[in-house]
């Protein structure tokens, strides 16, 4: 018997390793029969066995029978509760423990992180440190994981400091967790620093680094990281290959302005490597390949992969439906849905969401709604897809209506629903509905969610309530880059450009890395302030952060230079841009128009056509404005006539206004009148105001009287036609007619708003009304090339 008793620990360990529940129970019976349960060591092994085999009830029963429990007994039963996710009982046990060691703390912290209770995990970790326990590599890995999930950089950095202090900075396990934390928080520089300090990075390190680079829009660098991984001879497995295919897929789906052809080429190379390494039978990897081809827009490639899949899953069908949806081919997407059902697959929530998205992207919102209405119990994601569809189509009213219907059905919205609903309120300027949603957020504690908070900030800003937006912003305990961007954009939208700069600087001080949106917004502020000095400082940061080749940032930079009058710098930067889109060309053409360079604007417009870039309605407004302001009337007429015939752009009010202005400035009033009689915008006051201004310059009283009469009819309370017509009469010495117009203006109680000037000095910005008697000491006014701002 003694021999058998001495063998029991080894037998139990064998059962634990192999999860042999039945054999373990036989050993348990032997222990009971021989009254060996008082042996604490054996009882601890039994608890561990039942925990491993998923039998927490038996584990609790053994624990209750142990006469002398030690710390290992408590840790074993704590682990059993944590394994099955019974966190309430686990926490209660933890509190009751007469003695704890590092294993006790690690068990609870890791269980909380696994079950999504990251904040509680960090709180337990803080208590652990306060009680004098030194964390191990397992503790730190869990804490870094929790910090990354919560984007809590503060906790992560403090842990990093302790990691260095206790000498674990070269531990691969902890290093990978630390790198992941910085990557998830968007602090890619810190992640790269950790990566560079690791003595022997493995496949986990490289995969985490690639994901972090993609999260911060550095797709090319992520691809370079994969190439480095191959050059170093690091083992490439299915996970690594799936990750790099995800990089190619995300780069191609339009998120990062990455070339689809380039992404598809890289993806095909990875596809070849997959076959070479013998992973073509892995279903998960094949689905990643399918996703890459679909998001690259190569549906022929996706079809080939799909045809040879070793096993088709619901995910495979969903990817194909989403791919055709992205190509605006809802018919093909619907065909795949039919085939999926015919093959015996049950569509899941993702299937319906992809199908709804396919219909919405194809502009078939009615079919999407019909499909949605057939769903007996739509999931929150389905509601979100439908509400988002209305929002994307600019039908904010229907989006709000559907959101209210969701509430009437007692369907609880999530953070995405609320953010979309708030965006629709912002789009409509519907402040009251936005306030009602805000009240609902407070009730459900969604107001502390950074994602929803950014929606609230945007809604209040677009409704002109900047102070309320600031109140939301300052109440947040945690802020992400989207919240900062929303606040900066809100200030810019409400002409609080200096405050936008202040927020931008604070964001940098808090360690947030600006995005393309941050830079584009702050450059817009520089443009509105005509501050090339600050614009150039921002340009320096853009270069430093690697966004100088970003097409959106580049377009904003061109706009800033143009509005600051530095047209040559704008063109120089324009010429160096590797990628240009329609917005880029438009900004440069418009910049020439603003700065009186009509010939250059027309020449650049022709260069745009030759480059193959398709002009849009804004392009024509820009080039026609340039023609009008530079006296290039014939060139303007030629471009105007080519709009619909050659480029398929229907002339709108702004285009007619430009050409009427051009003809009026040139004194070609007969042609202007012919165009006026033919155009569909006769009842718009802007056209007649433009014509009336031209009549004043050329003293065309007859046409001026007609234009003024039209304006009296269209907008009786506007002072513009009275003032312009009276000025025309005055310039011709027809004082009686001028007096009659002013008397008519007085009789109809039409008031002219006074003009203002503003000047920036040491005391801030001061505004002066016309007629004010203002004394100013010369040395109180600071004027410099960058800071002077006068507007009459």
Q: Percentage of residues in the chain with pLDDT exceeding 90?
A: 15
Q: Calculate mean pLDDT across residues 551-557.
A: 90
Mean pLDDT is lowest, of 315-324, 746-755, 774-783, for 774-783
Predicted pLDDT at 755 = 58
Position 592 confidence tier, pLDDT thresholds 50, 70, 90: very high
pLDDT tens sequence across 500-553: 989 999 998 888 888 889 999 999 998 888 888 888 888 888 888 888 888 889
Any bridge partners for residue 761, and if so which?
Answer: 764
pLDDT tens sequence across 348-406: 888 888 888 888 877 788 888 888 888 878 888 888 888 988 888 888 989 999 999 88
pLDDT tens sequence across 558-578: 999 998 889 999 999 999 998
pLDDT at 80 exceeding the cut of 90: no
Copy the structure tokens of residue 101.
């060691």
* Segment (H or E) for 325: helix 314-326
Domain regions of the chain by residue span: 755-792
Predicted pLDDT at 776 = 39
Position 1 confidence tier, pLDDT thresholds 50, 70, 90: very low
Predicted pLDDT at 558 = 92
Predicted pLDDT at 792 = 22
Mean pLDDT is lowest, of 14-18, 185-189, 528-532, for 14-18
Give the CB-side neighbour count of residue 722, counting CA atoms within 13 A. 22
Predicted pLDDT at 337 = 87
Average pLDDT, the chain: 82
What gap in Å lies between CA 34 and CA 7, rounded to an integer? 14
Q: Calculate mean pLDDT across residues 2-21.
A: 68
pLDDT tens sequence across 303-352: 988 988 888 889 999 899 988 888 888 888 888 888 998 998 988 888 88
pLDDT tens sequence across 256-308: 444 444 556 777 888 888 888 888 788 888 888 888 888 888 888 889 889 88
Predicted pLDDT at 262 = 52
Predicted pLDDT at 779 = 40
What gap in Å lies between CA 604 and CA 95, rounded to an integer? 74
What gap in Å lies between CA 106 and CA 76, rounded to an integer? 12
Position 240 confidence tier, pLDDT thresholds 50, 70, 90: confident
Q: Calculate mean pLDDT across residues 762-782.
A: 46
From the list 302, 292, 290, the residue with the least C-alpha distance to 264 is 292
| Other residues' Cβ atoms within 10 Å of the Cβ of residue 456 | 29
Q: Calculate mean pLDDT across residues 735-744.
A: 81
Q: Enumerate helices (H) and strands (E) in the chain, giving the number of each.
A: 44, 2
Predicted pLDDT at 5 = 60
Predicted pLDDT at 488 = 93
For residue 758, give the 3-state DSSP assignment.
Answer: strand
Copy the structure tokens of residue 346.
């049950």
Predicted pLDDT at 636 = 92
């Amino acid at each position: 018997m003694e021999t058998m008793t001495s063998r029991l620990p080894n037998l139990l360990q064998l059962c634990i390793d192999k999860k042999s529940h039945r054999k373990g129970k036989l050993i348990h019976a032997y222990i009971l029969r021989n009254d060996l349960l008082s042996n604490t060591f054996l009882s601890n092994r039994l608890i561990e066995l039942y925990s491993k085999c998923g039998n927490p009830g038996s584990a609790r029963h053994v624990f209750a029978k142990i006469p002398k429990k030690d710390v290992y007994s408590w840790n074993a039963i704590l682990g059993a509760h944590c394994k099955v996710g019974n966190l309430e009982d686990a926490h209660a046990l933890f509190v009751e423990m007469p003695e704890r060691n590092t294993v006790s703390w690690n068990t609870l912290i890791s269980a909380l992180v696994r079950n999504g209770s990251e904040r509680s995990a960090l709180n337990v970790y803080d208590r652990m440190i306060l009680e004098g326990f030194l964390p191990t590599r397992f503790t730190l890995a869990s804490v870094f994981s929790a910090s990354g999930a919560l984007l809590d950089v503060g906790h992560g950095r403090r842990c990093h400091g302790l990691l260095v202090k206790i000498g674990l900075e070269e531990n691969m396990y902890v290093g990978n967790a630390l790198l992941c934390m910085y990557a998830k928080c968007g602090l890619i520089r810190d992640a790269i620093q950790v990566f560079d300090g690791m003595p022997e990075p493995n496949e986990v390190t490289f995969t985490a680094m690639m994901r972090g680079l993609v999260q911060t829009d550095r797709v090319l660098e992520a691809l370079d990281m994969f190439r480095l991984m191959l050059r170093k001879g690091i083992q490439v497995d299915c996970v690594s290959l799936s990750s790099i295919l995800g990089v190619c897929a995300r780069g191609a789906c339009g998120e990062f302005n990455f070339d689809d052809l380039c992404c598809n080429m890289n993806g095909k190379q990875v596809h070849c490597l997959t076959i070479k390494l013998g992973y073509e039978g892995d279903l998960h990897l094949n689905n990643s390949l399918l996703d890459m081809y679909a998001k690259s827009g190569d549906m022929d490639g996706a079809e080939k992969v799909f045809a040879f899949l070793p096993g088709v899953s619901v995910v495979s069908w969903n990817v194909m439906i989403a791919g055709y949806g992205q190509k605006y081919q809802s018919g093909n997407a619907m065909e795949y849905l039919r085939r999926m059902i015919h093959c015996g697959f049950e569509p899941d929530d993702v299937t319906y969401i992809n199908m709804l998205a396919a219909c919405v992207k194809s502009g078939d919102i009615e079919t999407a709604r019909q499909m949605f209405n057939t769903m007996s119990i739509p999931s929150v994601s389905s509601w979100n897809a439908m509400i988002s569809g209305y929002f994307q189509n600019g039908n904010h009213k229907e989006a709000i209506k559907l959101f209210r219907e969701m509430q009437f059905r007692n369907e609880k919205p999530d953070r995405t629903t609320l953010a979309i609903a708030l965006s629709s309120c912002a789009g409509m300027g519907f402040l009251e509905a936005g306030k009602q949603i805000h009240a609902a957020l407070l009730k459900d504690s969604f107001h502390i969610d950074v994602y929803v908070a950014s929606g609230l900030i945007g809604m209040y800003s677009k409704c002109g309530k900047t102070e309320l937006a600031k109140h939301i912003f300052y109440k947040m305990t945690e802020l992400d880059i989207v919240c900062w961007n929303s606040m900066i954009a809100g200030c810019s939208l409400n002409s609080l450009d200096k405050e936008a700069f202040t927020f931008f600087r604070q964001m940098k001080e808090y360690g947030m890395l600006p995005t393309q949106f941050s830079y584009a917004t702050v450059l817009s502020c520089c443009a509105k302030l005509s501050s090339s000095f600050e614009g150039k400082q921002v340009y320096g940061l853009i270069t430093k952060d690697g966004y100088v080749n970003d097409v959106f940032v580049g377009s904003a930079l061109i706009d800033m230079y143009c509005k600051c009058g530095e047209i040559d710098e704008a063109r120089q930067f324009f010429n160096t841009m590797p990628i240009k889109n329609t917005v880029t060309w438009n900004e440069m053409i418009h910049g020439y128009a603003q700065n009186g360079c009509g010939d250059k604007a027309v020449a650049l417009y022709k260069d745009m056509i030759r480059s193959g870039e398709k002009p849009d309605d804004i392009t024509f407004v820009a080039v026609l404005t340039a023609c009008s302001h530079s006296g290039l009337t014939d060139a303007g007429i030629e471009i105007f006539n080519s709009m619909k015939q050659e480029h398929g752009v229907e002339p709108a009010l702004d285009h007619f206004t430009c050409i009427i202005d051009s003809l009026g400035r040139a004194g070609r009033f007969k042609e202007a009148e012919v165009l006026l009689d033919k155009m569909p915008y006769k009842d718009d006051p802007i056209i007649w105001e433009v014509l009336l201004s031209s009549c004043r310059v050329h003293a065309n009283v007859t046409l001026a009287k007609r234009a003024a009469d039209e304006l009296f009819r269209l907008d009786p309370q506007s002072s513009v036609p009275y003032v312009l017509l009276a000025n025309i009469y005055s310039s011709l010495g027809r004082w009686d007619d001028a007096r009659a117009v002013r008397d008519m203006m007085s009789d109809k109680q039409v008031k002219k708003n006074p003009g203002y000037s503003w000047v920036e000095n040491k005391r801030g910005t001061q505004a002066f009304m016309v007629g004010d008697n203002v004394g100013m000491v010369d040395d109180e006014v600071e004027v410099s090339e960058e800071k002077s701002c006068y507007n009459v």
